[in-house]
A and B are shown apart, each in its own frame.
Chain A
Amino acid sequence: MKQSRRRFIKAAAAGTLAAAIPLSRLKFLSPAEVKAATGDASIRWIFLVDTQKCVGCGFCVKACKIENEVPYDAPITRTWVERYVVTADGATHIDSPLGGRDGFIDGRIDGRDIKPGEISKAFFVPKLCNQCDNPPCVQVCPVGATYQTLDGVVLVDRSWCIGCGYCIMACPYGVRFFHPVHKVAEKCNFCYHRISMGLKTACEQACPFGARQLGNLHDPADPVTRRIMTERVAVLKDEYGTKPQVFYIGLDEAVR
């Protein structure tokens, strides 16, 4: 009896070992390592938003929704425009109805009528994914479905995302959401399919005032890069250490 128990344990141990050997022959690549093969290392895509030029028409939001097949009437969007109204009493009023898709035609914010005389300053701020240099969304994805390409853009692999939502929680900018149809994490990717072919992003192309511009940080001759290098620019929420790569001109202290 005793003998048979010992034999059983021995056999089990041998079996486990035998099964483990062929496994160890396989090389273990992290998903990020596999995916990082995407992209061109001589490029670092960046973005410049000139808030002074934005009039809040929402053309960029419209264009993005159509280009990237994000359901038009669903209240989620890859890019959006925020309206800031700072009144004389120092209060800040912010809104972004439907992400600013239809422009800002209503003078009320949160049901509150603000008289033009009360306003001390007002402006629009377009938002999109910052394609962070230190992206927390990539860090927290348990399966490596969110990954960063060599040219800096953060992408989501729709065929591998398990839909846990951890990346949505990890992004300090509220950029991510679940795609209502594909049921996976979704976000702005600078129209990666377009820019890789040398086209402009849909939002940049749609903006009548040139408030949005894509650039390549690795190209010193790039006009966007030159502006970022020579003018005073700011980024959003740098206290999170994410190293955002969307730069803003005319950012205000009130901007969230």
Chain B
Amino acid sequence: MSEPMVVHGLDWTIKELFVYPNEFIYWAIQIVMYPYMTGLVAGAFVLSSLYHVFGQQDLKEMARFSLVFSLALLPVAAMPLLLHLQQPLRAINPLLTPHFTSAIAAFGFVFSAYAMIVLSEIWFVYRKYFVEQANALRGMPGLVNSGKHLLYNLLTLGAHDSGDSAVAKDKKAVKILAATGIPVACFLHGYAGFIFGSVKANALWMSPLMPVIFIMSAVVSGIALCMLTYICILKWSQFRTARNKGAGGQAAAGGVQIETINKAARYLLGFLLAAISLELLDLIFRGYTAMKSWDILRSIMYGKDFINIFVLQYGLGNLVPLILLLLPRATVNRTAIALILVLYGIFMMRWNVVIGGQAFSLSFSGYMHYQLPIIPHNLETFKEGLCGALTVAAMPFILFYGLNKIIPAIKQTGH
């Protein structure tokens, strides 16, 4: 046999006591990244919709930004799946022969529908800007300018009307799209929760609460990431203008508004509390009903994964930021630290679900331990190791950098 022989999972699974021979950690770090990324997408979109649909004026600045950011996150949500598939070249098959009894089958459809909504919403938000750019660049000398002119001209899709009534129509369209987007975004993510929650073979995953928990935590992580990136970008531009103008340049280019941040933080807190309550409810229910699987689940939760679950996820990732955000006299820096911890906490939650769900054998008589491949020695350990995960994590920022050149996500001037 000429093809290289790799037993999937062998590289990173350590077995203990009795585990069925074919059991390995088949769903590794990329499947942790997948719900994490879709969660960020959904959350970013929900944050932007809070302004567009519910007219939360205080979120106006964040709304634009998080909409563009959710576009940057979008392709990245599918990336972990591609890296995870054993046959990535067949990734189109679920669209060709969707087998709808499977929770994964509709992913492509939901995902594309969602992508269309985000794209068209952005188009309506930025159409006026495209027209302005196209007009401003018309007849400007230089190859770059004519290229840009062509690009913006194309982006207008031929709709050049920037009169008041047309812009009002744009606004209306944005509102409708944002409103339809919310359920779709929640569906996209609740559905990621369903993929896990419906696996009856897995004692930890099977729970009807799973989709709801996923949605709540998704919104939390999305809001947190948007806020954090927003703070970083504004701090950076503030720093740059201050450096250019010498001291005293803080009035320029909009510093971080603690009021905006505080308002967004309030939404974050609400969703975070909902997510934690649901998770605790799930935990208490399992302990109280103490089904056959409880013995092994308990030994995982209170024993092997205690640090991961109670110290890192609930403690460091939920409780500490909760206190930081609730303490009076919030500062931007303290909020930023809380946001980083929240993001970490949600990541640990995904980790504890995906990896924790495979930490015990289906025989309930043994354990599996996941060793994250750090230094790759073949394609598998690259894709499903630290390097693959970091690639996925870095991608949205790279994409956002490019997107921001074409559709500026943060208004630099105060108009």
Provide the bound-state CA to CA distance between A155 and B20, in Å: 21
Chain B, 78-100, CB within 8 A of any chain A CB: 81, 84-87, 90-91, 93-94, 96-100
Closest to A79 in B: B21
Provide the bound-state CA to CA distance between A256 and B150, in Å: 67
Shortest CB-to-CB span from A20 to chain B, Å, is: 15
With known contacts A71-B5, A96-B21, A140–B101 Cβ distance under 8 A:
yes
Shortest CB-to-CB span from B152 to chain A, Å, is: 16
**Interface 1/0 per residue, B193-234 and A, CB below 8 Å:** 001001111100000000000000000000000000000000
Question: Is the Cβ of A176 less than 8 Å from the Cβ of B22?
Answer: yes
Shortest CB-to-CB span from A146 to chain B, Å, is: 9
Question: Is the Cβ of A92 less than 8 Å from the Cβ of B102?
Answer: no
Residues of A within 8 A of B144 (CB): none
Question: Is the Cβ of B97 less than 8 Å from the Cβ of A168?
Answer: no
**Interface 1/0 per residue, B173-202 and A, CB below 8 Å:** 000000000000000000000010011111
Shortest CB-to-CB span from A166 to chain B, Å, is: 6
| Complex partner residue of A92 from B3, B9, B22, B365, CB under 8 angstroms | B365
Chain A, 155-187, CB within 8 A of any chain B CB: 160-166, 168-178, 180-181, 183-184
Question: Is the Cβ of A181 less than 8 Å from the Cβ of B3?
Answer: yes
B60 at the A/B interface (Cβ < 8 Å)? Answer: no
Closest to B363 in A: A256
**Interface 1/0 per residue, A207-245 and B, CB below 8 Å:** 000000000000000000000000000000001110000
Question: Is the Cβ of A32 less than 8 Å from the Cβ of B99?
Answer: yes
Question: Is the Cβ of B99 less than 8 Å from the Cβ of A77?
Answer: no
Question: Is the Cβ of A178 less than 8 Å from the Cβ of B104?
Answer: no
B353 at the A/B interface (Cβ < 8 Å)? Answer: no
Closest to A29 in B: B97
Provide the bound-state CA to CA distance between A129 and B95, in Å: 29
A26 at the A/B interface (Cβ < 8 Å)? Answer: no
Provide the bound-state CA to CA distance between A169 and B161, in Å: 54
Residues of B within 8 A of A96 (CB): 18, 20-21
B8 at the A/B interface (Cβ < 8 Å)? Answer: yes
Q: Tell me which of A82, A164, A171 has the highest count of chain B C-beta atoms within 10 A of its own C-beta.
A: A164
Question: Is the Cβ of B21 less than 8 Å from the Cβ of A98?
Answer: yes
Chain B, 21-62, CB within 8 A of any chain A CB: 21-24, 26-27
| Complex partner residue of B201 from A1, A80, A171, A181, CB under 8 angstroms | A171
Question: Is the Cβ of A180 less than 8 Å from the Cβ of B102?
Answer: no
A246 at the A/B interface (Cβ < 8 Å)? Answer: no
A107 at the A/B interface (Cβ < 8 Å)? Answer: no
Shortest CB-to-CB span from A139 to chain B, Å, is: 5
Q: Count chain B residues whose beta carbon lies closer than 8 angstroms to a beta carbon of A.
A: 56
With known contacts A163-B87, A169-B202, A171-B201, A94–B21 Cβ distance under 8 A:
no
Shortest CB-to-CB span from A104 to chain B, Å, is: 14
Question: Is the Cβ of A4 less than 8 Å from the Cβ of B159?
Answer: yes
With known contacts A139-B102, A140-B104, A160–B363 Cβ distance under 8 A:
no
Residues of A within 8 A of B362 (CB): 172-174, 256
Provide the bound-state CA to CA distance between A8 and B163, in Å: 18
Question: Is the Cβ of A169 less than 8 Å from the Cβ of B199?
Answer: yes
Question: Is the Cβ of A240 less than 8 Å from the Cβ of B200?
Answer: yes
Residues of A within 8 A of B90 (CB): 143, 160-163
A17 at the A/B interface (Cβ < 8 Å)? Answer: no
| Complex partner residue of A94 from B24, B91, B93, B363, CB under 8 angstroms | B363
Question: Is the Cβ of A74 less than 8 Å from the Cβ of B157?
Answer: no
Question: Is the Cβ of B161 less than 8 Å from the Cβ of A168?
Answer: no
Question: Is the Cβ of B103 less than 8 Å from the Cβ of A183?
Answer: no
In the complex, the 9 A-B pairs of residues with the closest C-beta atoms, listed nearest first: A163-B86, A174-B20, A256-B363, A142-B104, A172-B201, A144-B99, A94-B18, A177-B22, A178-B8
Q: Can you sample 21 A-B contacts with CB below 8 Å?
A: A30-B97, A30-B100, A31-B97, A82-B18, A94-B18, A99-B21, A140-B198, A142-B102, A143-B94, A143-B96, A145-B93, A162-B91, A162-B93, A166-B103, A169-B201, A172-B200, A175-B22, A178-B26, A180-B7, A181-B5, A256-B363
B-binding residues in A (CB < 8 A): 1-2, 4-5, 8, 30-32, 71, 74-77, 80, 82, 92, 94-96, 98-99, 110, 127, 136, 138-145, 160-166, 168-178, 180-181, 183-184, 239-241, 256
